[in-house]
Structure 1
Amino acid sequence: MTRPVIVVVGAGPGVSGSLARRYAREGYDVALLGIDEEQLRRLAGELEELGATVGHAVADVTDVEATTAAIRRFGEHTGRIDVLHFNPSAFREKDPLELTVEELLADVALGVGALLTSAQAARPYLTAGGRITVTGSMAADKPWHRAASLGVQKAGVRNLVHSLDATLRPDGIRAVSVTVRGTLASEGPFTPDRVAEVLWDAARQVEADWQTEVPYSG
């Protein structure tokens, strides 16, 4: 038996890093996909110290071909993907009268479209019991007008999670987003480690009571 594997898309030092460490402590091997080589190497080193075997790839996740190839390489190498976690979003401080259509579509490509790419690439390696988790945000329900594209992304990615779960459920694979109703901070209930713990728990819901969205209010 091989160790279980989590693929973290949009890996970095925040929630995604905390979640990767949480899974590593539980005996998972980890594959990291992100855009910052230095951050990926640093996180990989931390995970290896926790006993995980770690692979990483640098890719712009809006590049469909590069992202698909990277996730397929991870899957072919390990023979399995047990959890796919999706973290990316774009913060662009522009209100709806400043934001261009091109900018909106570029941000949605990152915050929503890249989940579609990642899920499709991972699907051949996900089996019954597999999970897709997503870092969501209160911006889906209460967008800040000065960052108009972020609310669109978070509403869109949550909607896509509902559709992914309905599509994959017959094969025993489930999807869930955690809606973080607060601002990430270094202390208090919204630290990356606390949010990662909620994501961990969301992936381990009882199947009969599965929710595709889990709100976290601290």
Structure 2
Amino acid sequence: MSAPVYVVLGAGPGLGLAVARRFAQEGYVAVLATRTKADAEPLAAALQEEGHAAQGVGVDLTDAADVSAVVTAVGERNGRIDVLHFNPSAWREKDPLHLTVPELLEDVALGAGALLPAVQAARPYLASGARVLVTGSAAADKPSPAAASLGVQKAAVRNLVSSLDATLAPDGIRAVAVQINGVLGRDGAFSPPPIADAMWAAVSRPDDAWTPHVPYDG
């Protein structure tokens, strides 16, 4: 059998890379998707230099057709997708009195809506035991009024995870949102490595212990 495959959409040099590294350490091929392939290749190279199998791809998460095409290509190239990790969010510094409806919808389309074409494209490559992982945030419950759209994105994607989990569960595929209840930092409990450990633990649970939402409180 080929090695399991982990795909992260919205990868970056912080949390996205750390979670990819955590899965790579467990023997997964790590596929890191960023806005452009040029941005993704150094992240993949960092893992390759550590002896891990890694690939870098570009994807426009605001374009559902591109999301579908890129995820499908990853599935075709590797023959499987075992963990699909949805990591993006849009930060817009606008309070509710200045945020427009088009801006809100644009942000929600990126931070929540893009999960739909990603999972739909991945579905043919998700076998029983596969997982959909979503990076959640305390903003879902305690939104900052200074960036009002972020809380809406995180509440929406958490809700969507519940629906995905219920829909996929009969086929042995589960979905989970790990809600990070703190501010990301370089050191300490809210730095990328311990959060990556928590995400690995969340997807490693057996079905009889499954919940679609896991809080990470440090």
Q: TM-score, normalised by structure 1?
A: 0.97
Indicate the SS of the match to 1:45: helix
Could you report, residue by residue, the CA deviation over 1:173-197 in whole angstroms, capped at 9, with x for unpaired residues? 0000011010000111100111111
* Deviation sequence 1:17-52 (CA, Å, 0-9, x none): 100011111111122211144431111111212333
Distance 2:187 2:55 in 1: 30
Partners of 1:45 and 1:84 lie apart in 2 by: 20
User: Take 2:207 and 2:165, find their aligned partners in 1: how far apart are those partners?
Assistant: 12
The ranges of structure 1 where at least 4 consecutive aligned residues each deviate by more than 6 angstroms after the TM superposition are none
Q: Which amino acid aligns with 2:26?
A: E
**Secondary structure of residue in 1 paired with 2:66:** helix
Determine whether 1:138 maps to 2:138.
yes
Percent identity at matched positions? 56
- Tell me what 1:149 maps to: 149
Aligned to 1:106, the other structure's residue is in SS state: helix
User: Residue 116 of structure 1: CA displacement?
Assistant: 0.9
User: In structure 1, how many angstroms separate the alpha carbons of the residues matched to 2:122 and 2:37?
Assistant: 22
CA contact (8 A) 1:13 1:39 kept: no
More deviation, 8-17/150-159: 8-17
Could you tell me which runs of 5 or more consecutive residues in structure 1 were left unpaired when the two chains were aligned: none
Counterpart contact for 1:24–1:51, Cα < 8 Å: no
Relative to the length of structure 2, the TM-score reads: 0.97
Give the whole-Å Cα distance in 1 for the aligned partners of 2:217 and 2:28: 28
1:35 to 2:48 alignment: no
Measured in 2, the distance between the counterparts of 1:214 and 1:122 equals 23
Counterpart Cα distance in 2 of 1:213 and 1:22? 20
Alpha-carbon distance between aligned partners in 1 of 2:45 and 2:150, rounded to the nearest angstrom: 31
- Secondary structure, aligned partner of 1:13: coil
Q: What does 1:9-88 correspond to in 2, within 5 Å?
A: 9-88=9-88
Q: Distance in 2 between matches of 1:15 and 1:172?
A: 27
SS of residue matched to 1:74: helix
Aligned counterparts, 1:1-218, within 5 A: 1-218=1-218
Distance across 1 between alignment mates of 2:30 and 2:74: 9
Distance 1:117 1:33 in 2: 15
Aligned amino acid, residue 185 of structure 2:
A
SS at match of 1:110: helix
More displaced, 156-165 or 28-37?
Answer: 28-37
Q: 1:162-216 deviations in whole A, cap 9, x for unaligned? A: 0000000000000000110100001111001111111110001121121100001
Q: Which runs of 5+ in 2 are unaligned?
A: none
Give the whole-Å Cα distance in 2 for the aligned partners of 1:111 and 1:154.
Answer: 7
